[in-house]
A = this chain, B = another copy of it.
Amino acid sequence: MKVTVLVRPKPGILDPQGEAVRGSLEHLGFAVSEARVGRLVDLEVDAASADEARSAAERMCEQLLANPLMESFTVEVVGA
């Protein structure tokens, strides 16, 4: 089952990579007042149902894919 995990820096957490992207975009002439950079992970999970796949992906985030102190995550089961 295909699952997409989105990991974002929490509000208030400094994001130097996002700040660098914002500066570069501004330099290129784009009107961008904020940029925040996160990660996405596309997974193929062996699960019997969408609920099971979602639950497994949430545990993966807690254990490996996200840093709960600094990052929030969302899980989307593709086609569910």
- Residues of chain A at interface, number, CB under 8 A: 32
Beta-carbon contacts of A15-37 to B below 8 Å, as 1s and 0s? 00010010011001011111111
The reply to whether A28 and B63 form a contact with Cβ atoms under 8 Å apart is yes
Q: Are A37 and B41 in contact (CB under 8 A)?
A: yes
Copies in the complex: 2
B-side contacts of A34, CB under 8 Å: 42-44
Are B31's CB and A47's CB within 8 A? yes
Contact at A44–B39, with CB atoms within 8 Å? no
Partner of A42, one of B28, B36, B42: B36
A→B interface (CB under 8 Å): 6-8, 18, 21, 24-25, 28, 30-47, 56, 59-60, 63-65
